[in-house]
Structure 1
Amino acid sequence: MPDTLQRRTVVMAGLAAVVAPIAAQSYPSRPIKFVVGYVAGGAPDIFARTLGTQLAKVLGQNIVVENRLGAGGTIGAAQVSGAIPDGYTLLVAESAQIELAPLLFKKLSYDPVQDFTHIARLSVSPGLGIVVSSKNQQLRTMEDLIREAKANPGKLNYGSSGIGSTHHVVMEGLKYWLGLDIVHVPYKGSSESVPAVMAGDVQVTLSALQSVMEDVRGGKLRLLATSGSRRFRGTPDTPIMGEFIKNYEPIVSQFSMLGPPRMPPDVIARLSSALKEVLAQPETVARIYSLNYEPMWSNPEDYKLEVQENLKKYARAMRIAGIQPS
Structure 2
Amino acid sequence: MTFPDTLHPNRRQWLQSTGAGALLAALGTSALAQTSPFESVKIITGFAAGGTSDTLCRRVADKLPGTGYTKAAYVENKTGAGGQIAIQFVKSQNPDGLTLLQTPMSMLGIYPHIYKKLAYDPVADLSPVSLACVFDFGFAVGPSVPASVKTVPDFLAWCKANPKEANFGSPAAGSVPHFVGSLLGHHAGIDLKHIAFRGTQPAILDMIGGQLPAVSGPLGEFSQHVAAGKCRLLASTGAQRSKFTPNTQTMAEQGLKDMVFGEWFGFYLPAKAPRELVQRLNTALRAALATPEVVDGLAAMGLEAKSSTPAELTALLKADFERWGPLVKTIGFSADA
1:51 touches 1:278 (CA, 8 Å); kept in 2?
yes
For 1:291, the aligned partner's letter is M
1:154 touches 1:183 (CA, 8 Å); kept in 2?
no
More divergent stretch after superposition (258-267 vs 228-237): 228-237
How far apart are residue 27 of structure 1 and its match?
A: 5.8
- Provide the residue aligned with 2:209 in structure 1: 199
Given the superposition, is the C-alpha separation of residues 212 and 110 from structure 1 closer, same or farther in structure 2, using an over 3 Å criterion? same
- Provide the residue aligned with 1:305 in structure 2: 315
Q: Which runs of 5+ in 1 are unaligned?
A: 2-24
- Provide the residue aligned with 1:61 in structure 2: 71
Matched residue SS, 1:292:
coil
Given the superposition, is the C-alpha separation of residues 180 and 80 from structure 1 closer, same or farther in structure 2, using an over 3 Å criterion? same
Residue of structure 1 aligned with 2:306, choices 279, 288, 296: 296
Alignment of 1:321 with 2:322, yes or no, is no
More divergent stretch after superposition (263-272 vs 25-34): 25-34
CA–CA separation in structure 1 for the residues paired with 2:71 and 2:287:
16
Alignment of 1:50 with 2:59, yes or no, is yes
Q: Deviations over 1:81-113 (max 9, x none)?
A: 121111111101122322233333223111111
Residue of structure 2 aligned with 1:141, choices 145, 151, 162: 151
How many percent of aligned residue pairs carry the same amino acid? 29
CA–CA separation in structure 2 for the residues paired with 1:152 and 1:215:
25
CA–CA separation in structure 2 for the residues paired with 1:208 and 1:52:
23
2:129 touches 2:267 (CA, 8 Å); kept in 1?
yes
Counterparts of 1:44-123 in structure 2, within 5 Å, are: 44-59=53-68, 60-123=70-133
- Provide the residue aligned with 1:35 in structure 2: 44
TM-score by length of 1: 0.84
1:225 touches 1:239 (CA, 8 Å); kept in 2?
yes
Q: Deviations over 1:139-173 (max 9, x none)?
A: 22334224434566665322234543332211111
More divergent stretch after superposition (312-321 vs 294-303): 312-321
How far apart are residue 272 of structure 1 and its match?
A: 1.4
Given the superposition, is the C-alpha separation of residues 34 and 184 from structure 1 closer, same or farther in structure 2, using an over 3 Å criterion? closer
How far apart are residue 187 of structure 1 and its match?
A: 4.2
Instruction: Count matched residues.
Output: 302
For 2:300, the aligned partner's letter is S
Alignment of 1:233 with 2:243, yes or no, is yes
Matched residue SS, 2:208:
helix
CA–CA separation in structure 2 for the residues paired with 1:249 and 1:298:
25
Matched residue SS, 2:307:
strand
CA–CA separation in structure 1 for the residues paired with 2:294 and 2:276:
25
Matched residue SS, 1:201:
coil
Given the superposition, is the C-alpha separation of residues 220 and 246 from structure 1 closer, same or farther in structure 2, using an over 3 Å criterion? closer
How far apart are residue 39 of structure 1 and its match?
A: 0.9
Matched residue SS, 1:84:
coil
How far apart are residue 245 of structure 1 and its match?
A: 4.7
Q: Deviations over 1:123-151 (max 9, x none)?
A: 01122x11111563132233422443456
Q: Which runs of 5+ in 2 are unaligned?
A: 2-33
CA–CA separation in structure 2 for the residues paired with 1:245 and 1:306:
26
1:121 touches 1:297 (CA, 8 Å); kept in 2?
yes
Given the superposition, is the C-alpha separation of residues 183 and 238 from structure 1 closer, same or farther in structure 2, using an over 3 Å criterion? same
- Provide the residue aligned with 1:217 in structure 2: 227
CA–CA separation in structure 1 for the residues paired with 2:260 and 2:307:
18
CA–CA separation in structure 1 for the residues paired with 2:297 and 2:178:
29
1:158 touches 1:182 (CA, 8 Å); kept in 2?
yes
- Provide the residue aligned with 1:263 in structure 2: 273
TM-score by length of 2: 0.82
CA–CA separation in structure 2 for the residues paired with 1:155 and 1:40:
33
1:38 touches 1:69 (CA, 8 Å); kept in 2?
yes
How far apart are residue 278 of structure 1 and its match?
A: 2.3
- Provide the residue aligned with 1:284 in structure 2: 294
More divergent stretch after superposition (188-197 vs 269-278): 188-197
Alignment of 1:131 with 2:160, yes or no, is no
2:90 touches 2:270 (CA, 8 Å); kept in 1?
yes
1:40 touches 1:46 (CA, 8 Å); kept in 2?
yes
Given the superposition, is the C-alpha separation of residues 188 and 38 from structure 1 closer, same or farther in structure 2, using an over 3 Å criterion? closer
Counterparts of 1:239-258 in structure 2, within 5 Å, are: 239-245=249-255, 247-248=257-258, 250-258=260-268
Matched residue SS, 2:65:
helix
- Provide the residue aligned with 1:176 in structure 2: 186
